[in-house]
Amino acid sequence: MDKKKLADILFLLGFFGFLVAALAITVFKPKDTWSYYENRSLAQLQRPTLSSLVDGSYTNSVEPFLQDHAAGRNTLLHVNTLIDLTLLHRPVVNQVIHTKEMLLGFNPYEIPNQTWIEQQADYMASQLAQLRDLVEGYGGHFYYVSVPGQYTYFEQEHPSFLNNRSAYTDIEIPAFISAMQSYGVNLIEMGSYLEQIGNPPELYSTTDYHYQFGGAYLTYETILDTIEQDTGVSLPRLAGDTLSIQELPNPYLGSRARKVFGLGGIEEHLTIGLPTSPIPFTRTDNGMPSPSLVYTLPHSDTEEVAYSLYMGGDMGETVIDTNRDTLPTLLIYGDSFTNPVECLMYYSFDEMRTIDLRHYKDMTLADYIQTYQPDYVVGIRDYEALLSTDFNGRPFEIQY
């Protein structure tokens, strides 16, 4: 056998050996369900049942599963991201717009349908009006809070050739305000409050879709101010001498930064607000006792932190009881924008319940309200989810 033929055989054996080894590692290594740096769930393999084989769902799940769990996948993605950021200087990397001072989410190009937006705003307002009627039927009070997301708050920071969604937002918000007014539903539109004070950049995150502690605190204050003005009650609140604000030294990897594998190069830190005179309370999550804490604090100053620092992340149901019977009760519902507000709001009420219908499936929001009859019900949703009928946008149904 000549040397060339032997070399070809050895090359083929090595190549196929590499493929077999990579496939074996992919198949047999422990399977994660969540990609921390990509901030998303990883594809899972369908169970090979007769029905899944017949309808093709098992076969269709194989390729995404192998792609998400391939051996060395994270290393390859990390290297590719590094090349995109440092060598190619792409304006959008992993669906993230990378500017000098912040990381913004990429918005697909769109032509807003004004008719649909106005109809959807009316539909959402009509649903919230029915919810309001339920709450007021037993003597409670209902408030709905709309908050800007990062892409709206930093509209002007988007490169001119990319979509900052201003064309959509400029139709959505006036339509929603008008619809809520026509149905007489109490709306706290935080975008208007923020504009009045000049949209201070420090109130929103530069590496995450959410607001920073300052934006959450302003939302907390505005809700309490509105409740006190409307009802004449006086609520204890975290402000001035009763509040200790602390910036954590830990590196903050917001969802945007995780999507670019921690290579964003933009430094940001999270802030917390603690009572100077703590009040005792008990906490349950999804019906199970939890530590009496509202912040999931790191063990060291160098440990990375994420937005889940606030309330431990998204929970189906949380109940905090401060055992102060002279104060009213509260229910907050919504998506992740509620979390840092909850870290403050419990201080002002006897009992604070919170539910997130993306995770809570025991009953509908309407049934939950009817069951517990809180004195105040507050919904908080951001502009991107404002007209969505998914989960927290569907108060009279359960979605699985």
Q: Give the least confident one: 3-7, 78-82, 252-256.
A: 3-7
Q: Which residue has the higher pLDDT, 72 or 357?
A: 357
Q: Which residue has the higher pLDDT, 143 or 64?
A: 143
Contacts 24+ apart (CB under 8 A), 322-328: 322/279, 322/280, 322/281, 322/346, 322/347, 322/349, 322/350, 322/351, 322/352, 323/280, 323/281, 323/282, 323/350, 324/279, 324/350, 325/350, 326/350, 327/235, 327/236, 328/233, 328/235, 328/374, 328/375, 328/376
Q: Which two tokens stand for residue 191?
A: 């975008």
Query: Crossing angle for the helix pair 365-372 and 114-137, nearest 10 degrees?
Result: 20
Is 18 a residue whose pLDDT tops 50?
Answer: no
CA distance 214 to 192: 16
Residue 328's pLDDT is: 98
Is 288 a residue whose pLDDT tops 50?
Answer: yes
Residue 19's pLDDT is: 43
Radius of gyration over every alpha carbon of the chain, rounded to an integer in angstroms: 25
Residue 224's pLDDT is: 98
Q: Which of the four pLDDT bands, split at 50, 70 and 90, describes residue 25?
A: very low
Q: What is the tens place of the pLDDT at every residue in 135-153?
A: 999 999 999 999 999 999 9
Residue 20's pLDDT is: 47
Residue 139's pLDDT is: 98
Number of helical (H) and strand (E) elements in the chain, helices listed first: 12, 15
Q: What is the tens place of the pLDDT at every residue in 123-133?
A: 999 999 999 99
Q: What is the mean pLDDT of the chain?
A: 88
Is 59 a residue whose pLDDT tops 80?
Answer: no
Residue 47's pLDDT is: 73
Is 31 a residue whose pLDDT tops 60?
Answer: no
Q: Give the least confident one: 13-22, 144-153, 246-255.
A: 13-22
Residue 71's pLDDT is: 66
CA distance 146 to 321: 26
CB contact at 8 A, 179 and 146: no
Residue 99's pLDDT is: 87
Is 91 a residue whose pLDDT tops 80?
Answer: yes
Residue 26's pLDDT is: 47
Domain ranges for the chain: 3-76, 114-393
Residue 21's pLDDT is: 45
Q: Give the least confident one: 224-228, 253-257, 293-297.
A: 253-257
| Residue 328: how many other CB atoms lie within 10 Å | 18
Residue 22's pLDDT is: 43
Is 1 a residue whose pLDDT tops 70?
Answer: no
Q: What is the tens place of the pLDDT at every residue in 151-186?
A: 999 999 999 999 999 999 999 999 999 999 999 999
Q: What is the pTM of this model?
A: 0.86
As a dihedral over the C-alpha atoms of residue 61, residue 66, residue 67, residue 72, rounded to 10 degrees, the angle is 160
